[in-house]
Chain A
């Protein structure tokens, strides 16, 4: 069974600085998808960024980028120029190529301080 581990329960960063959230996963599959979701205090989960395992290039989405290390099974999220609105729980999630379910990590609570 696939597992997703987020080793940082909480992190904080100063506004305008850069922060990196860690995620590792375990799978025997070669074809899969990885996601970062953001859950602000209003509690609606929003997709931040996704990565297909077959793509070597790291995904980027404006201030958000990932460092996908397939051999190491690592998928970290980098937030540049942090903003107060980035304060949220961040969940790393995995989806196997043959499955529809998302497997989530426990989340990292990020606080951006003014």
Chain B
């Protein structure tokens, strides 16, 4: 069964550094998402992406964050200047469609980001 994959599984970075988290969505999916989960807290929505554009974003997704689909398979989340509070598990998800509500979001295994 196709799966969403994410790399790296763990990333340690220094405060102020840029990080890029990578995701390969399921191949016939058209909608892509990033969520994060700070340790001990809820999974929170960051952004959704469709047709090479951000379709929805949360208040968390400020100018420090950006997303990109650089080629036909990868979907990336960039954090320009990491802060301590960016330490979290970041989940990528993808879905086939949303207009009819039939979509299910399939999640990747996550990238554990630690900012020191």
Q: How far is the CA of A16 from the CA of B95 in the complex (A)?
A: 33
- Contact present for A101 and B98 (CB under 8 Å): no
Question: Using a CB-CB cutoff of 8 Å, which residues 36-72 of chain B contact chain A?
Answer: 41-45, 48, 55-56, 58
Q: Which residues of B sit under 8 angstroms from A106, Cβ to Cβ? A: 41-42
Q: Does B75 contact A (CB under 8 A)?
A: no
In whole Å, how far is A37's beta carbon from the nearest beta carbon of chain B?
A: 8
B46 (CB) vs chain A CBs: closest residue: A101
Across the interface, A42 reaches (CB within 8 A) one of B41, B55, B109, namely B109
Total interface residues on A, CB under 8 Å, equals 24
Q: Does A47 contact B (CB under 8 A)?
A: yes
- Contact present for A47 and B109 (CB under 8 Å): no
Proximity bits, A81-114, B CB within 8 Å = 1, else 0 = 0000000000101000101111111110000000
B3 (CB) vs chain A CBs: closest residue: A44
Proximity bits, A22-36, B CB within 8 Å = 1, else 0 = 000000000101010
Given contacts A43-B89, A97-B101, contact A102 B109 (CB under 8 A): no
- Contact present for B101 and A43 (CB under 8 Å): no
B49 (CB) vs chain A CBs: closest residue: A100
Q: How far is the CA of A53 from the CA of B60 in the complex (A)?
A: 28
A44 (CB) vs chain B CBs: closest residue: B109
- Contact present for A100 and B104 (CB under 8 Å): no
Across the interface, B105 reaches (CB within 8 A) one of A31, A102, A107, namely A102
- Sampled A-B contacts (15; CB under 8 Å): A35-B104, A43-B109, A44-B107, A44-B110, A46-B107, A47-B104, A47-B106, A50-B104, A91-B43, A101-B33, A101-B56, A102-B43, A102-B45, A104-B42, A106-B41
Apart from A33-B101, A37-B107, A47-B104, what 14 extra A-B contacts exist at CB < 8 Å? A31-B101, A44-B3, A46-B107, A47-B106, A91-B43, A93-B43, A100-B31, A100-B98, A101-B56, A101-B58, A102-B45, A102-B105, A103-B45, A105-B42
- List A residues at the B interface (Cβ < 8 Å): 31, 33, 35, 37, 42-47, 50, 52, 91, 93, 97, 99-107
